[in-house]
Structure 1
Amino acid sequence: MRRGPAYQRPLSAGGTAKRRAMTDATKLTVLVSSLSGGGAERVATTLCNAWCAAGCSVTLTPTFDADSSAGYPLDPGVQVRRLPPAPGPKTPWRQLRRLRALRRLITSEQPDLMITFLTNVNVAGLLAAWGTGVPVIVCERIHPPLFPLSFWWRALRQLTYPMAHTVVVQTETTRAWFASNLPRAKTSVIPNPLALPLPDGPAELPIAGLIDSDQRLILAVGRLAPQKGFEDLLEAFALLSHETLGWRLVILGEGPQRQALDRTIERLAIGGRAMLPGWAGNMQAWYARADLFVLTSRYEGFPNALLEAMAHGVACIAYDCPAGPAELIDGPDCGRLVPPDQGVTGLTRALVELVGDAPMRESLGQRARERAQSFSQPKVLQRWVQLIGGGR
């Protein structure tokens, strides 16, 4: 079993005033799908660490992957409690056994509040807590209309979400969707917290072996999947052959589209200049080295990588996809938003501008760093403190 990275409690996680406010909600139970790598798991771990540092008793339970080890640093004070294994095919009876096990956990823990992440976990948590008197805050991590669900999952979401104390969403765009499509559910917008410095994970990826000291770096980060639109970035980069002679493109991540993207690199004859080296645990070092960051997602819930790049003072280009980029890059002095219908053409135009204009990259990076402070961990945690105060 892979061991998670060591946890170092941030000094800013809990001041005296915050500790007094949080200890009123003494006992929290947090449900996630697994503890392995992923955006929701990362945010859940960050919040659990902060709540623990603020004086709460926190139990973290992976509901669908009982054997996963922590992919992100976890405070030793956070208790990890796993559900018993439920082997066999995914039949309704198996799902019912999982719900009964989850309900037993809730009744034995008797938390003041339960917080759940991701749609399937949200639905399961609400059903399991029904009638126990435990308030439940559920967290949607992606813009619902762009993440297709089966008929039954959509029906269960419609049925259960009005039972939640609050549905936490990450953007105003998603709140507007809920207001139109599930108006009986109470929503609140709380973005992901930006916790700096970024913790180093176990998969360190040396930079020096890939990028020479005199080369410029265009960086992209994410799962190698169609949602992330990396084929557009490769196409646009290939069109900049003259402008990017001293530049390299690195896309950090893994996923099912790796072979297809490798073939695209070969077809475009940009091998050696565009690289897919895999995951990197030392993301802070990569952001510090980057000259330009690009997000080409078709859709997002909240683009963590874009926020992290901005916080490190990197000039950014992003597709103006739903939902999130426009709420981070809030003006042309903060970065470049490319309308999705402009595709590779618009992306190429933005790359040409910023690749050739170092002073503009510097200016955009400085403004991006300032903008990212709006999402700092203390500010986001204060919004959670206010919400949890109403959840007891």
Structure 2
Amino acid sequence: MRIAFLTFSLQGGGAERMVSRLANAFVRHGIQVDLLLFNTENPSYTVNPSVQIIDIGKKSKFAIKRTLGNIKAIRSYMRAYRPDVMFCFIVTMIPFAVLGRIGSKTHCKIIGAERANPHALAKNRRFAVNRFLRFCDGFVFQTAGAQSCYPKYTQKRGIVIGNIAPRIEVQRTDSNVIKNAICSVGRLHPHKDYETLIKAFSIVLQYEPDATLHIYGQGISKQNLEKQAQELGVFKSIVFEGFSKTIDVELQKYEIFVFSSKAEGMPNALIEAMACGCACVSSDCDFGPRELIKDGENGFLVPVADSKTLADKLLYLLRNSSLRKKFSREAIKIQETYSEEKIVTLYLDYAREISDSK
């Protein structure tokens, strides 16, 4: 069986991380895998040498010429390699795949994948994507909530499959943990609502002045966030760590992880933090956190953009070692719930089902 993934790039992001993990896992299951990328430069994730990376990005100052070139490149790929299935790992890739299949003289099945919050896509792009949904042979959703946002005909042919939780041997000890430290991971972008987190942290510092906040990630909001931290007088207690390729190692330096996003598809950062045994506090945003966290059992959920409640939960964890340890023990179980073997089996079974369908 030959499976293709169509996505923009392998530069840092949740969809890109998941594509690399699935591609590597599929190869280990004896599947031929191709990655079709619009941009092959500066990958943040490593794929197995057996995975073929194909550059379909066309350069032109004219958008229509680039678009037609991309479609032609996909059509040429389908004719040459005749994949059984093509996963569109960003929904805006669906029109390219559908139009590329026309005239390819292949029976490649196209499976869409919603990797973000469906409401986050700009209206003009959503309009374009919706015109092509009927031509998808299948669809993968990360959560039932995201599935419910789609037309009935797409829901009926779709399946809900969560993200892979990494298998990590947690080696957190008293000697390697940063005391009174809180960490967060994600793009520095307005959707991640670090503004609420920094405001909450300023409240935390009023009661725990030795606390520090470590933020991993990069993005367009960095200067604004640094300015906010300076205005609140907390800049010296916040460390902007930048992007890390070994985030699983970094996470084991912390007992407490916080996630303040306004909207998600299914947050890989939260999954990884739980797999690393962090005691997690997350916004109860659409979609994903409530599928991962049972409030009070393996973490805390707080209302979106509620800095006061977020600060209260962080303070409670900072002062309660036994609860941190309880949340850690329960959070690690996500490694089994979303194990690679379970998720990959669901993907491959679904790909075979769609490939065999008429």
TM-score over 0.5 for the pair: yes
Q: 1:144 to 1:294 in 2, by over 3 A?
A: same
Letter in 2 for 1:295: F
Q: CA RMSD in A?
A: 2.0
Displacement of 1:272: 2.4
Aligned pair 1:175/2:138, yes or no? no
Match of 1:13 in 2: none
Deviates more, 1:127-136 or 1:350-359: 127-136
Task: Choose the corresponding residue for 2:66, options 77, 91, 94.
Answer: 94
Task: Choose the corresponding residue for 2:3, options 2, 24, 28.
Answer: 28
Match of 1:107 in 2: 79
Match of 2:123 in 1: 149
State the distance in 1 between where 2:217 and 2:295 align: 28
Match of 1:79 in 2: 52
State the distance in 2 between where 1:193 and 1:214 align: 27
Displacement of 1:369: 1.1
Displacement of 1:372: 4.2
What are the within-5 Å matches in structure 2 for residues 1-80 of structure 1?
26-62=1-37, 64-65=38-39, 67-80=40-53
**Partners of 1:243 and 1:356 within 8 A in 2:** no
Displacement of 1:108: 1.1
Q: 1:134 to 1:275 in 2, by over 3 A?
A: same
State the distance in 1 between where 2:109 and 2:30 align: 20
Displacement of 1:183: 4.8
State the distance in 2 between where 1:369 and 1:184 align: 31
**Partners of 2:18 and 2:163 within 8 A in 1:** yes
SS of equivalent to 2:252: helix
State the distance in 1 between where 2:94 and 2:21 align: 19
Aligned pair 1:282/2:246, yes or no? yes
Letter in 2 for 1:141: R
Match of 2:311 in 1: 348
What are the within-5 Å matches in structure 2 for residues 283-362 of structure 1?
283-340=247-304, 343-362=306-325
Displacement of 1:239: 0.9
Match of 1:4 in 2: none
Q: 1:184 to 1:290 in 2, by over 3 A?
A: closer
Letter in 2 for 1:49: N
State the distance in 2 between where 1:233 and 1:247 align: 14
**Partners of 1:315 and 1:368 within 8 A in 2:** yes
SS of equivalent to 1:299: coil
The unaligned stretches of length 5 or more in structure 2 are 170-174
The unaligned stretches of length 5 or more in structure 1 are 1-25, 199-210
- Counting aligned pairs with the same residue, the percent is 27
**Partners of 1:227 and 1:298 within 8 A in 2:** yes
Letter in 2 for 1:81: I
Displacement of 1:176: 1.1
Aligned pair 1:137/2:130, yes or no? no
Task: Choose the corresponding residue for 2:191, options 200, 208, 227.
Answer: 227
Q: 1:197 to 1:362 in 2, by over 3 A?
A: closer
Q: 1:156 to 1:214 in 2, by over 3 A?
A: closer
State the distance in 2 between where 1:212 and 1:379 align: 32
Match of 1:11 in 2: none
Q: 1:214 to 1:36 in 2, by over 3 A?
A: closer
State the distance in 1 between where 2:240 and 2:311 align: 20
State the distance in 2 between where 1:282 and 1:80 align: 23
Letter in 1 for 2:101: A
State the distance in 1 between where 2:220 and 2:134 align: 35
Letter in 2 for 1:82: D
**Partners of 1:46 and 1:195 within 8 A in 2:** no
SS of equivalent to 1:309: helix
Displacement of 1:95: 1.1
State the distance in 2 between where 1:174 and 1:68 align: 31
Task: Choose the corresponding residue for 1:388, options 344, 351, 356.
Answer: 351
Q: 1:362 to 1:213 in 2, by over 3 A?
A: closer
What are the within-5 Å matches in structure 2 for residues 197-216 of structure 1?
197=168, 215-216=179-180
Hey, which bits of structure 1, 4+ residues long, moved more than 4 A?
Answer: 182-185, 211-214
Aligned pair 1:379/2:342, yes or no? yes
**Partners of 2:205 and 2:211 within 8 A in 1:** no
State the distance in 1 between where 2:62 and 2:350 align: 35
Task: Choose the corresponding residue for 2:327, options 364, 368, 372.
Answer: 364
Displacement of 1:49: 0.6
State the distance in 1 between where 2:239 and 2:197 align: 12
Q: 1:331 to 1:215 in 2, by over 3 A?
A: closer
Displacement of 1:197: 3.9
Q: 1:218 to 1:184 in 2, by over 3 A?
A: closer
SS of equivalent to 2:123: coil
**Partners of 2:177 and 2:254 within 8 A in 1:** no
